[in-house]
Amino acid sequence: MDVMPFLDLDVDGRSGLVGPSQKEAEDYLSFRCLGTGVFNFLITLKPTSEGQDDVVVGKLGSYRWPYVGYLMHPDHAGKGYATEALRAWIPEFWKHMPSPSEGKPGFDYIEAMTDGENYGSGNVLMKSGFTLFGKQEKGFNSPTLGLRDTNVYRIARPGTKLEESGKVDYGKADPGFVPRLIEPEAHT
């Protein structure tokens, strides 16, 4: 498996890769890229000439429903590539992820979480139609920065309302937490 494009993306250690080894990258990618709910893509620059190799500048997708995440190489951040990719990805993900109204396990929203101080990522989400849905104090244990606050963003499936998606109870900070859906109510 050629994992070098992913290692190149993680120049500042934010993706969760711990150490830039081939084995660690393969383990990370296996966890994030295998399974029935996986819907991931690389973000590449458009070729400027025929025969030009793809230039990987980021990754975007979901390794489990209903979550989306993305990572941009710092040299290409702030240029609109993540927003463009996310806007194109959302309608395709709705086709991929079932709605509970279809009688199958699924969701009527997509959720993204960002570091509470990652304003650029929050802007990408809001430009793509997401709403700041909630905040979790000390909800993520970053390998490089320690416990961090988390902003939770959601976007509703067309034809549904975000208020009907339910509130998520994240419990105490846990680097491997799995959100639990509790009774639907208007979020604040």
Sequential pLDDT tens for the chain (188 residues): 344 555 555 544 554 444 556 676 667 666 666 666 788 888 988 888 887 778 888 889 998 889 999 989 888 999 999 999 999 999 999 998 888 888 888 899 999 999 999 999 999 999 999 999 988 888 888 777 888 999 999 999 999 988 877 665 544 333 343 343 333 333 33
CA distance 125 to 114: 10
Answer whether 43's CB lies under 8 Å from 82's CB.
yes
Residue 187 domain flag: no
CA distance 177 to 140: 9
Residue 66 domain flag: yes
Number of domain units in the chain: 1
Residue 186 domain flag: no
Residue 15 domain flag: yes
Where do we find the tokens 């990572």?
Answer: 71
How many CB atoms are closer than 10 A to CB 97? 20
Q: Which CATH number is 127's domain given?
A: 3.40.630.30
Residue 165 domain flag: yes
CA distance 14 to 18: 9
Domain of residue 79 covers 4-181
Residue 32 domain flag: yes
> Is the torsion defined by CA of 146, 149, 155, 161 positive or negative?
positive
Q: Across-strand partners of 135?
A: 151
Tokens of 169: 């109870």
Residue 65 domain flag: yes
Residue 99 domain flag: yes
What is the structure's pLDDT at 55?
85
